[in-house]
Amino acid sequence: MRRSLIVVAVAVTSMVAIAFLVPLAILTRDLAADRELASAERDAESVARLIVVVAESSGSIDIDQVLPSVSATDRPLTVVAPDGTVVGPPLDQGEDISPAEEGASFRQPVEGGEAVYVPVVTSDGTFVVRSVATDEAMTEGVVRTWIILVVVGVVLVMIAVLVADRLGRSVVTPVEELSEAAERLGAGDLDARVEPSGPDEIEAVGRAFNRLAIQVEELLRSEREEVADLAHRLRTPLTGARLTAESLPTDERREVILGQLDELHRVVDHVIAEARRVDRASMMTRSDLAQITGYRITYWEPLASDEERDVTVDIAVRPAPVGVARNDLTAAVDALIGNVFAHTERGVGLTVAVRESPGGGVEFVVEDRGDGFPSDIDVTARGESGARSSGLGLDIARRTVESAGGSMVVGTSPSGGASVVLRFPPLAASIV
């Protein structure tokens, strides 16, 4: 916008300057020529009056009497007597002075300038006084004046550019600050605010943005507290369930149940901590996909064995760094593996793989040997499911991979079952 305002200012000012300065330059040239011609005419008339005075005082004119006056001026002056005698610079070859000899004053172009002819009628005949305005004299000072006009035009354009730049800055700077604050707010900085400034309309937008940011902050704070409170309420039934499990006879199933309750308790604690976290930008944003996959497979193996599921694990990349926090990545891996257990029959096997992505980076793959996804339902949409579930598992995985700049691909496995691939972009191998 700022550049556009400057371009418009330069264009408009240039057109205005041209519209005024070009006619003024032409007028200056014409005035200089007219001034010199008028001066030449005055010089010729002065000599003509001298001839009249001499003629009236002596009754006749000796051409030598006007010679001093002709020679006294720097201007080329010529006097042509009735008998053809020429005093001063000679006439040009073919120069016609007959209109002056007949008593008419006139002027015409000659070599090197323009000549003015003044007739003087006496008893001895008609004298013709010829005065020449040279080209140099008629253009004297014109070039200097034109240079001054060009400088004035350039200065006007520069002033217009400065004014347009200040005006553009007063408009663009508040917009840039508003854009920067909006990006910060979108990145999670809930303290992002702007100082309303600029034109009234932009200042009003700045105030509206600040109100919006305050409302977003209040809504998120309220939502975090509600989630934390809800998660906190789960601790009581979880504690009761653990006490009940501990009272069971000691066997393998009891240990499995206690392990699952511990894991659920850990998840609840994590939900409370994350819900009450104000600065989410300080969260660790890197984790090892291969390590987490191996850890979660160990967690799911007892349930897979209990349901007689064949689990194939292929971790071809170690380490496999991705730009996702460890807890978030764990939730995504559990969501995809848990979907297989929740939406397929007992005995249906699955394959879990971590491998290099064709476009660079790494990808996490979960494939089952079931019936595949329903063809009439968009399973990637939040809340959609073909098995009476909440439909949040795939949405959690999708949002997790997209937060790292990756993508999720849903399709069909080689055996005809469901296939979900999380593709993460390249990231440095070191885990922070």
For residue 321, give the CATH number of its domain.
3.30.565.10
Please report the pLDDT score of residue 366 as a whole number.
Answer: 94
Of 63-72, 116-125, 185-194, highest mean pLDDT = 116-125
Please report the pLDDT score of residue 292 as a whole number.
Answer: 94
CB atoms within 10 A of CB 235: 13
The band of 73, judged by pLDDT with boundaries at 50, 70 and 90, is low
**Domain boundary pick from 193, 209, 233:** 233
Please report the pLDDT score of residue 209 as a whole number.
Answer: 87
Please report the pLDDT score of residue 61 as a whole number.
Answer: 59
Residue 87 within a domain = yes
Please report the pLDDT score of residue 310 as a whole number.
Answer: 93
Q: Are residues 24 and 136 located together in one domain of the fold?
A: yes
User: Tens digits of per-residue pLDDT, 19-57?
Assistant: 888 888 899 889 998 998 998 898 888 888 877 777 666
Query: 124 — phi, psi (to 5°)?
Result: -85, -10
Q: Are residues 360 and 375 located together in one domain of the fold?
A: yes
User: Tens digits of per-residue pLDDT, 321-365?
Assistant: 998 888 889 888 988 998 898 888 989 999 999 999 887 899 999
What range defines the domain where residue 220 resides?
A: 144-233
Mean pLDDT for the stretch of residues 4-8 = 78
Please report the pLDDT score of residue 372 as a whole number.
Answer: 84
**Domain boundary pick from 140, 170, 196:** 140
User: Tens digits of per-residue pLDDT, 189-226?
Assistant: 778 888 888 778 888 888 998 898 888 888 877 777 77
Q: Are residues 92 and 151 located together in one domain of the fold?
A: no
Q: Are residues 149 and 122 located together in one domain of the fold?
A: no
Residue 206 within a domain = yes
pLDDT of 389 strictly over 50: no
**Domain boundary pick from 140, 162, 187:** 140
Alpha carbon distance 47, 258 (integer Å)? 132
Strand partners, 113: 110, 134
Nearest-10 Cα torsion for 237, 243, 244, 250:
150
* Choice between 171 and 136, residue whose per-residue pLDDT is larger: 136
- Of 1-10, 72-81, 95-104, 224-233, which gets the smallest average pLDDT? 224-233
Q: Are residues 211 and 249 located together in one domain of the fold?
A: no
Please report the pLDDT score of residue 378 as a whole number.
Answer: 63
- Taken as a whole, the chain contains a residue count of 432
Please report the pLDDT score of residue 137 as a whole number.
Answer: 87
Q: Are residues 267 and 293 located together in one domain of the fold?
A: no
Alpha carbon distance 334, 312 (integer Å)? 16
pTM of the predicted protein model: 0.45
Q: Are residues 118 and 157 located together in one domain of the fold?
A: no
Paired tokens of 119: 């007739």
CB atoms within 10 A of CB 30: 12
The band of 428, judged by pLDDT with boundaries at 50, 70 and 90, is low
Number of domains in the chain: 4
Q: Are residues 296 and 383 located together in one domain of the fold?
A: yes
Residue 430 within a domain = no
User: Tens digits of per-residue pLDDT, 217-254?
Assistant: 888 777 777 766 666 667 667 666 766 777 777 777 77
Q: Are residues 248 and 152 located together in one domain of the fold?
A: no
To the nearest whole percent, how much of the chain has pLDDT over 90?
Answer: 18
- Do the bridges between strand 350-356 and strand 287-288 make them parallel or antiparallel, or are there none, so unpaired? unpaired
Residue 342 within a domain = yes
Q: The domain that contains 89 carries what CATH number?
A: 3.30.450.20
Residue 42 within a domain = yes
Please report the pLDDT score of residue 283 as a whole number.
Answer: 47
- Residues in Cβ contact with 205 at an 8 Å cutoff, skipping those fewer than 6 apart: 178
Please report the pLDDT score of residue 141 as a whole number.
Answer: 87
User: Tens digits of per-residue pLDDT, 390-421?
Assistant: 456 788 888 889 888 899 999 899 988 999 99
User: Tens digits of per-residue pLDDT, 139-159?
Assistant: 888 889 989 989 988 998 889
Residue 122 within a domain = yes
Please report the pLDDT score of residue 432 as a whole number.
Answer: 40
Mean pLDDT for the stretch of residues 285-293 = 89
Residue 431 within a domain = no
Q: Are residues 120 and 46 located together in one domain of the fold?
A: yes
- Of 59-73, 100-114, 149-163, which gets the smallest average pLDDT? 59-73
Nearest-10 Cα torsion for 148, 150, 155, 161:
180
Q: Are residues 301 and 412 located together in one domain of the fold?
A: yes
Residue 432 within a domain = no
Mean pLDDT of the chain: 81
Q: Are residues 250 and 155 located together in one domain of the fold?
A: no
- Residues in Cβ contact with 194 at an 8 Å cutoff, skipping those fewer than 6 apart: 174, 177, 178, 181, 206, 209, 210
